[in-house]
Amino acid sequence: MSNQFKHGVHWGHSLRNLSWDKSDHKTPSQELISSTVHEWYDAKHRKTSDEEIKLINSTLVNHCPYCGSPYVIRSGFKDGIQRYFCKDCHHYFNPLTGTIFEDRKIPVSEWVEYLLHLFEFHSITSSARDNRNAYSTGKYWLIKVFEVLKHYQDDIILQGTIVLDETFFTKIESQKQLKPDGKEYRGISRNKLCVGCAKDDSGKIVLLCENTSKPSLKSSWNTFCTHIEEGSHLIHDGEKSHSVLIDKLHLTSEVYDADEIKKLKDEDNPLDSINEIHSLAKRFMAAHGGYNRENLQDFMNLICFILNEPYDRYEKVDLFINMALNSPIRVKYRDVISKKEAE
C-alpha cells in the first residue's frame, strides 16, 4: 500500500501545499479552501518569537560542537541569535548546533504542542494532523525524542518498597518464528519480547527490555541490578528469575501467587500499580502499531519519562526542552527517514 493511502488520508506532504496553489485559475471554492488552510498553517507555524530567541541565547556554550574545543568566541548575531566561532576548527555555529534543533526549519516553540500530544499518548498520525505537519516530520521528531531520552533511565535507582513484574510484547509477523508444522508458538515463546517494570513507594518507575523472550536469572540481573538499592523490600509474583536480585542485593521478599492475585479486585491486588503501567504501555504501543520492535527500549524510555515526575505536563515539556538544548545529539533527516517515507 502506498504511503498516500497508508493512513486513510494523505499526510505525506505538509498540509500547506494544496494541489491548486500554483494555478492562476482557482475557483472561488478553491480560493476559500486555500486561504483557510494557509491561515490555519500560519497560526500553527509562527515565526521565531522574542522569547524563543532569548531562550536560545541563554543556553550555555563552552565548547565547539564540531571539534569539542573550549576556544570559542562570540561572533555577532544572525536573526537575533548569537553566533560563535571556534578558533581551532574555524567553524561558525550557534547554541542549537549539535542539538536536535539544529538546522530547524520551524521554530522550537512548535515542539511544545508536539510534546504535549506525545505525552498524552497521541499517535504520530494524529499529532501530524493536529499540528499541520507531514507524517514524516512527526516520525522524524519522535526519533529525535528517542535520542534525547536514550539514557534517561540509566541513573534511576528504586528504593524502599518496590513492586516488580514483567509484561510481554508480540513480535511483528515478519519476525515471528514458526514451528516445523508452520503453526505459531503459544504462550510465552520466542515470539514475545519481555519488558520488566518496577516501581517504588516514592512513585519512581523503570521500564526495561530484558532482551529475551522469557525472564532468566541472567536477564533479570542484567536488567535490574543497577536500578534497585541494596536492602530494599521486593513485592513480586514469585518469578524464579527474581531470586538472583533478592540474593545479591540482599532484598527482603514478599511473594504473591500470580494465579491467585488475578482473582482479586484491582484495589486488593498488590501488583495493581504495575499492572496499570503495563496497561498504559500496551495502549501507547497500540497507538504506534507499526513500530519497529528493535526500538522497543526507546518507546519504554519515553513511556517511563511520561509516567515519572514531573507530573504536570507543562513542567514535563519544560524539562524535555532543556534536556534537548543541553544534549549533544545530531539527528539528520536523510539518515533516519527514507525517501519513500518522505514522499
- List the domain boundaries for the chain: 60-93, 161-307
pLDDT at 8 over 50: no
Cα angle: 303, vertex 309, 311; to 5 degrees: 90
Q: What is the pLDDT of residue 249?
A: 98
Residue with cell 517504588: 200
- Please, which pLDDT band fits residue 212 given cuts at 50, 70 and 90? confident
Calculate the alpha carbon distances from 204 to 129, 157, 207 in Å.
Answer: 33, 8, 10
Q: Structure pTM?
A: 0.80
The CATH code that applies to domain 161-307 is 3.30.420
Average pLDDT, the chain: 84
- Please, which pLDDT band fits residue 319 given cuts at 50, 70 and 90? very high
Q: What is the pLDDT of residue 127?
A: 77
- The answer to whether 197 and 205 have CB atoms below 8 angstroms apart is yes
Q: Please, which residues bridge with residue 205 across strands?
A: 199
- Show contacts of 9-14: CB within 8 Å, 24+ apart: 9/129, 11/125, 11/128, 11/129, 11/134, 11/135, 12/134, 12/135, 12/136, 12/342, 12/343, 13/134, 14/41, 14/132, 14/133, 14/134, 14/137
- Please, which pLDDT band fits residue 321 given cuts at 50, 70 and 90? very high
Q: What is residue 273's three-state secondary structure? A: helix
- Please, which pLDDT band fits residue 314 given cuts at 50, 70 and 90? very high
For the ranges 139-143, 178-182, 334-338, which has the lowest average pLDDT? 178-182
Would you state the cell numbers that stand for residue 195, as one nine-digit string? 519488558
pLDDT at 117 over 80: yes
DSSP letters along 100-112, please? TTTT-SS-TTHHH
- Please, which pLDDT band fits residue 54 given cuts at 50, 70 and 90? very high
Digit-coded pLDDT (tens) for 88-101: 999 999 999 999 99
Q: What is the pLDDT of residue 242?
A: 97
Distance (Å, whole) CA 283 – CA 266: 18
